Amino acid sequence: MGIEDRDDEEIEAEHRANRLAAAREYAPGAQLDEELQLRLTGPDTEGGALRFQWGDALLHPVETAVSVAAGTPVQLELTGISAGSTVIHARPIAPPAASEPYVLSTPATSAAGTGMSALTKLLAALEAESDVLEWARLFDSVEALSRALGKYGLDLGVTWYGADGDMRRARLTERGRRYVDRLRKTRDRDQEIMIAGRITELRESGWVKVKTGVAKNAYAYDVHFEDPDELLRMRPGLGDNVHFRVRFRQRLDSVGIARSTEYTYLGPAAEQASLPFES
């Protein structure tokens, strides 16, 4: 009978492509309205309703990830909720209309479309437990989304309907969330470096702030003394010039993001030239 085993989203995507093709017969630059569908599945989604506690925890990381991937702020707005578990319908907020309504031009590439392309590829990579380094800049937002889904026991399905008729789909299930957790685990990377500067802050607990220049925006190191008495024996004073050997430790996750950095005092370094002071 010619009946294919396709879901509603695939059928809708075909209808959209047909509508676009028909519209472009008369207006070659025609485009469709963009739409984002987020399908939540889990024990509390059968009623097709969005609980208030889910809202910002889930939607804000999606908007942030799309904006980061697009390289420009992308604002999304909720247009409806439907059943079939809980399906959230959203769309990008359109930019202000041109002041000259009679001037026709082909719209530029959609920022939302660019962002959704990257986001769906990252989600697919997480579900496949494959390399995600290409999308490292999106990882913090997707990690926040993953934590929220885990907290509420939800799985997420993402469908993006683009202005040019394309459709992109991805999911983030328990498998992908477990992979995110593994990627978050850190490893230490140590190296010994020399720092020189003026002491601008002292704490008896064993912390010294060393500023590398006199300008207000000069970089400052927070150096930790594992033995606070060693710092006291040095009898340092505010404004003193110091030259330290320190252990620079970065805690890197598997995506290569530095989750923390610290500087630990190892000993005195050979003195260097005095800091240049501005006139």
Annotate 142-176 with b (16+ C-beta within 10 A) or e (fewer): bbbbbbbbeebebbbbbbbbbbbbbbbbbbbbeeb
Question: What is the residue-averaged pLDDT of the chain?
Answer: 84
CA 202 from chain center: how many Å?
A: 35
Q: For 174-207, how does the pLDDT look when each residue is reduced to its tens digit (9 = 90+)? A: 999 999 999 999 889 999 999 999 999 999 889 9
Give the residue, 46 or 121, on which the prediction is more confident.
121
Of 149, 173, 123, nearest in space to 53 by CA: 149
Q: Give the whole-angstrom CA distance, residue 223 versus residue 229.
A: 14
Q: How much is the pLDDT for 180? A: 95
Q: How much is the pLDDT for 30? A: 67
89: its two tokens: 């319908």
Q: For 198-249, how does the pLDDT look when each residue is reduced to its tens digit (9 = 90+)? A: 999 999 889 999 999 888 888 999 999 999 888 888 888 898 999 999 999 9
Phi-psi region of 47 (alpha: psi -120 to 50; beta: other; left: phi over 0): alpha
- pLDDT over 50 (residue 6): yes
Query: What's the pTM value of the predicted model, to 2 decimals?
Result: 0.73
Q: How much is the pLDDT for 155? A: 96
272: its two tokens: 């260097």
Residues 6+ apart with CB under 8 A from 67: 73, 74, 115
- pLDDT over 80 (residue 162): yes
5: its two tokens: 């085993």
